[in-house]
Amino acid sequence: MSRMSEYVRPIVNASKTIFEGMVVTFANMLRKPVTIQYPDKTETPVRQQLPPRYRGFLEVDLRRCTACRLCMNTCPIDCIRIDVEKNEEKKRGMTVFDIDLGKCMFCGLCVEPCPTGCISFTPEFEGAALNSDSLVARFIDDGDFILPAKAKEAAGIEPPEPGSIVRKLLKKMQDENPGEQGMMDKQLHV
Ligand code: SF4
Ligand code: SF4
């Protein structure tokens, strides 16, 4: 190779590379942006764009819960707490049904054995919080006593719109943790 071509070849290669790079740059400068402004600038809320089997936060429809505690006993990392007690009339009922949404790994092991299908995944996923305690979803209020459903009767109850129960609960959790108001307001589009 002559000394001239040794000198010229790297310059040609560098110019070619810069030219190719600039072609890509200018082509993208003329394209419409494809970035989605999340969370509040999408035309359709993100939760409505998710596939039907998406595993978002769990929710429980207590109208159909038999208090069998299969879900609680199946969870490998103890996310679910269900307390069952007897009242003065010796009736059995639930006083606590909590799911730690911050701890849950969305494995679905609790959903599989539920005899009535009342514990299920939802399209809700926006739960950023300032502390992990505020991610414990309490499906039964303090002092409430929820009688278990009979499996046969539960089968006749129409399931709610997926996410409607946990969405209300997230709003309540926000009210109970005022420090997180701004963050959750934004997430829940309220
Ligand atoms: S999805 Fe898995 S980790 Fe979450 S509560 Fe159910 S069993 Fe536990
Ligand atoms: S949610 Fe289902 S599995 Fe869990 S206690 Fe209720 S009926 Fe049983």
CA of 28 to the centre of ligand 2 (A): 53
pLDDT in the model for residue 61: 97
User: What is the rounded average pLDDT of the residues 65-78?
Assistant: 97
Q: Quick one: which H or E segment has residue 29?
A: helix 3-29
pLDDT band at 39 (very low <50, low <70, confident <90, very high): low
Are 67 and 93 within 8 A, CB to CB?
A: yes
Are 116 and 155 within 8 A, CB to CB?
A: yes
User: What is the rounded average pLDDT of the residues 69-90?
Assistant: 96
* Sequence letter at residue 74: T
Percent of the chain scoring above 90 in pLDDT: 66
CA 173/CA 187 separation, integer angstroms:
13
Domain range annotation of the chain = 51-188
To the nearest whole number, what is the mean pLDDT of the chain?
Answer: 89
Ligand 2 contacts (CB < 6 A) are 60, 65-71, 82, 114-116, 118-119
CA distances from 35 to 39, 41, 44, 46, 62 (A): 12, 11, 15, 14, 40
User: What is the rounded average pLDDT of the residues 82-107?
Assistant: 95
Residue position matching structure tokens 């490998």? 76
pLDDT band at 136 (very low <50, low <70, confident <90, very high): very high
Domain 51-188 in this protein, CATH class? alpha beta
Give 135 or 64, the one with higher predicted confidence: 64
Which of the listed residues 77, 78, 81 should we mutate to test ligand 1's pocket, taking the one with most ligand atoms within 8 A of CB?
77
Nearest CA to ligand 2 atom 1: 119
CA 33/CA 16 separation, integer angstroms:
27
**Any idea what the Cα angle at residue 66 is, between residues 163 and 81, rounded to 5°?**
70
CA 92/CA 133 separation, integer angstroms:
28
